[in-house]
Structure 1
Amino acid sequence: MLQTESTRWVCTVPVATVWTAPEKIREVDAEGLGKTPNINKWINTMTAEESRDMVDSNRVQSQLLFGEPVMIDEMADGWAKIAAIWQPSQKDERGYPGWVPIDQLKEVEALDELGYARVVSQMAQLWTEDFKPLLVVPFNTMLPVKELGEFIRVQTPLGDAFIMAEQAEVARGFNQVEKGTGVDVANLAATFLQLPYFWGGMSSYGYDCSGLSYNMLKANGVIIPRDAKDQAAEGHEINKDSQQDWHIGDLLFFAYEEGKGRLHHVGIYYGNGLMIHSPTPGKAIEIIELAGTVHEKELCAVRRFVENEGAEE
């Protein structure tokens, strides 16, 4: 670990991709790298085959949001080997491991005495101290609070900045967000309908299946593992064969070989036999009916992370 007790290394760009290894990058990935990555352009530039190759070639592990802290194990040739400490994983007990370009990280003063401002809108504008636009950051970005008001002053790796109070909520810690209900989880996921699937995606530019479940629960006060396989090993086990026992907001897990093979997908139960999920490259977040689909045959587990189901308005 290269940081000290008084400092931490954090992500300096709106979204930094965590790669399996530096040699996994391709020419088409240039827009996702550097000090000013353009995630929208990167996603839109890729062909269907290149998007699928992200999955088939295991190029990407996860993503970091602006200001998200990491532990650094080593630096070499412009890359840092990191553990994303806010993303639990069986791959590393400290947090999700992978590689990030060094120029997308910065060492800053460790600060969290006043808690964190969590972005609640799909995108939010950060402003400089003289109220010029600084950066647009995605949903669930969490930044240390320095001062409260109509505009919240936050610490960022680019210096102090302001965010409109209506675009953020303040939590005492990254894992101390106010807890929501199962209905809150499902309804929040529905605000991202038609957002493109993106392998390894952890931002409101594009989620993968477990990125969606992780972020919807994180926004409702529950930190779960980053990957679907790890998620399925936690939570409260619910009888998968008794749909009447499922709650809205439960996580549904799917495996090949009609539920007996390798686990490969997760969705959020939407009630009434429906599921909301981020399906596969080339598609977008959608609500589907489980009956009569391959998912019905592949269901292998149901897990509950939010005990209070809540009620629809």
Structure 2
Amino acid sequence: MHILLTGGTGLIGRQLCQHWLAQGHRLSVWSRHPEQVAKLCGGQVQGVARLQDINQPVDAVINLAGAPIADRPWTHKRKALLWSSRIGLTETLLAWLDGLEHKPGVLISGSAVGWYGDGGERELTEDSGPVQDDFPSQLCIAWEETAQRAESFGVRVVLVRTGLVLAAEGGFLSRLLLPFKLALGGPIGNGRQWMPWVHIKDQIALIDFLLHKTDARGPYNACAPQPVRNLEFAKTLGKVLHRPAFMPMPAFALRIGLGELSGLLLGGQRAVPQRLLAAGFTFQFTELHAALDDLSSRL
């Protein structure tokens, strides 16, 4: 199978490349820095700066590109970048797909549980609608709606609403390690907000599962079956790292320092993977402690 990835040099993309290279697939990565692709993703992976440089039919497209949403405050300039790196890039991808004589069978496009907005205590399945109209929700809704247009080309579209990915190689956990190792870790705000998490091994496995499940289409919550509250997450991470986790981050300080972005940390989603479980996917990690313990030796 020839698979094209956008965002292939990111945390999830790199792991997918390793997984699919081991299966014998041919991989291409669309990147602003194609010269770095082989080093980051594997020597057999082709990096392309332009989609027009792909000269062999593509069987599947994995669309994961997007600037990190929590790296810095959401100024007007930052919001524009977050939008263009997702919606703008996906529109370019769709224009290229439209012009292909031989179209791929499937487009798996990234999204996030932020699609629902801050869900409070409500359990959120793929049948739930958006709960709150905030910026992350608007961003994910537009991203999904753009990708969904590939259905009109006869392409099967799968939307992966990812939670917080737990990995030793980067991402969410890497930002927490220093304060926790310095015994400065703890809950954010009141710690009651829900955190939908997923181990990187399950994230890779579920994307591969959806790629090969030919009747899979539409949105899937990519998070473990048992989300936890922020307070429990902090305590569990502290235990795994053998560090105390009692130093709370006051909500008012986050609001002052991060502005609108603070809502991403103070809110949450009690999202559950109803459609993945119904489709027969089996999570390797369903308990947070086991997931963090698996990663602990590399943290």
- Structure ranking higher in helix proportion: 2
Q: Which one scores higher on RCO, CA 8 angstroms, separation ≥ 6?
A: 2
Q: Structure 2 length normalisation: TM-score?
A: 0.31
- Structure ranking higher in strand proportion: 1
